């Protein structure tokens, strides 16, 4: 069971407008990628599904996705990114997959989607 608690703090950037493109990082630590179970949320694939009809270059002016997955080889990353999301009609360009690999974590991103485990330490 989860408990939702609202913290009595004001957001640091509540009056700063967002700048495009929004940089979104999907993190897949090596301990997760070494034993992938259920399919992971494919951020580049989602961008392609939502904005792909306008072309990838234009879509990336709105949302710029990247994937930090040190445990995935380039071919595994290619397979992950180019697998279309259900209902997507926009194919991801095969030759451009490596440019979505993030070499560092966390880097400078507007949003981070963390795939991993969280342990409770008492």
pTM over 0.75: no
Confidence category of residue 55, pLDDT binned at 50, 70, 90: confident
Residue 96, domain member (yes or no): yes
The structural domain count of the chain equals 1
Using the predicted structure, report yes or no on whether residue 53 has a pLDDT greater than 80.
no
Residue 75, domain member (yes or no): yes
Residue from 109, 113, 107, 96 nearest 64 by CA:
109
Residue 7, domain member (yes or no): no
The predicted model gives 62-90 an average pLDDT of 81
Q: Which domain holds residue 27?
A: 22-114
Using the predicted structure, report yes or no on whether residue 21 has a pLDDT greater than 90.
yes
Residue 3, domain member (yes or no): no
Residue 89, domain member (yes or no): yes
* Per-residue confidence (pLDDT) for residue 75, from 0 to 100: 87
- For residue 14, give both structure tokens: 């509540």
């Amino acid at each position: 069971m989860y408990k939702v608690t609202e913290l009595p703090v004001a957001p640091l950037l509540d009056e700063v407008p967002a700048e495009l493109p929004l940089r979104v990082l999907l993190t897949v630590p090596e301990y997760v990628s070494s034993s992938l179970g259920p399919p992971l949320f494919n951020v580049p694939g989602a961008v392609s599904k939502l904005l792909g009809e306008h072309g990838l270059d234009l879509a990336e002016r709105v949302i710029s996705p990247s994937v930090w997955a040190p445990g995935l080889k380039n071919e595994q990353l290619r397979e992950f990114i180019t697998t279309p999301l259900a209902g997507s009609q926009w194919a991801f360009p095969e030759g451009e997959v490596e440019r979505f690999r993030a070499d560092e974590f966390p880097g400078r991103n507007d949003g981070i989607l963390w795939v991993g485990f969280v342990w409770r330490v008492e």
